[in-house]
Amino acid sequence: MSISKLLLSDVAWPDTRIEQQLCDEAGVELIIASDSSEESLSILANDCDGIITCWANITEAIIAASGKCKVVSRMGIGLDNIDVDYCTSQNIPVTNVPDYCLQEVAEHTLASVYSLGRHINTYNLNSMAGKYDREVTPPLRRLKGQTLGIIGLGNIGQRVAELANTLGFRVLGFRQDMTKTVPGVELVLFEDLISQSDFITLHLPLTDINHHMIGAEQFQNMKSTAYLVNTARGGLIDHTALATALKTGELAGAALDVQDPEPPDLNTAPYNDPRVIVTPHAAFVSVESLIELRRKSVKNALDILLHGQSDQIVNF
């Protein structure tokens, strides 16, 4: 009986000990790619039974090159780097890890809200430049009682709502299915959330439909004192429109953990604006979350290869 093979398309960590150990224990060969180009992955995928990917684009060509792919396992939540439609057409399960970083992303979101609302970034930049003066920002407002608008109320959005309620925010929400209520969240129309919120946070996957869902029209309808926080996907925001909105005073600032593209040109607007906090797609990161992510993503692939099923299949 031949040994099953899994292809690890890219390595986002200092080592692959966790992945290797789990595969060794299961009697599955792990092939680790050193190059995540489509050409290289297509060659390595040949005769592999499954693919585990973090950031690499897993295209139809790569999947088809396997000849017998039984699973594509995403090390993360979003699926925009996998050709899910092709997998579905070939009856190939796609899995993800939807719950590994809920607390981390929610904490990062609220930390961004507080950093923006308390002008911490602006104060720090001015202080480091020798301007030790609290009058360099607009007047500070008490955050308790302000309105936080959450776009996308999946696992992460709901955790943000839970924390925000504890901190005393009024919480508005918008989701695709507005019949599904969330405790402590007032569901409102998209345009009402945009116009009423003091802080707007994004927590939804990127699709063809919601690409640039926050653009010029939305910025024009925001409060001029509002802040935008994105820890989801960079393509949800039209960054050119964001730069213009900041320049014309249509909003007060933004915190961007995700960009479009990544990495962005940090010397250009909106990234070089002192009212914008930029972090390098780090909201999901903690020692604990990464261990959980790596274990669960490998387990998802092994469950399908060895047992024909997984609790985390997203396309069937």
Identify the residue whose tokens are 């929400």: 173
Say yes or no: do domains 5-98+287-307 and 102-278 share a fold.
Answer: yes
Q: Is it the case that residue 147 has pLDDT exceeding 70?
A: yes
Instruction: Kindly name the residue from 233, 239, 275, 294 that is annotated as catalytic.
Output: 233
Locate 199 and state its tokens: 């802080």
Instruction: Kindly name the residue from 118, 211, 281, 295 that is annotated as catalytic.
Output: 281
Instruction: Kindly name the residue from 39, 217, 262, 288 that is annotated as catalytic.
Output: 262
**What CATH number labels 5-98+287-307?**
3.40.50.720
87-134 pLDDT per residue, tens: 999 999 999 999 999 999 999 999 999 999 999 999 999 999 999 999
Q: Is it the case that residue 67 has pLDDT exceeding 80?
A: yes
Nearest Cα residue to 52 out of 99, 98, 6: 6
Supply the pLDDT for residue 1: 60
29 given a catalytic annotation: no
pTM, to two decimals: 0.90
191 given a catalytic annotation: no
Domain residue ranges of the chain, discontinuous segments joined by +: 5-98+287-307, 102-278
Supply the pLDDT for residue 2: 79
What is the arithmetic mean of pLDDT over 254-278? Answer: 97
233 given a catalytic annotation: yes
DSSP 111-177: HHHHHHHTTHHHHHHHHHTT---GGGSSPP---TT-EEEEE--SHHHHHHHHHHHHTT-EEEEE-S-
Domain 102-278 homologous superfamily, CATH: NAD(P)-binding Rossmann-like Domain (3.40.50.720)
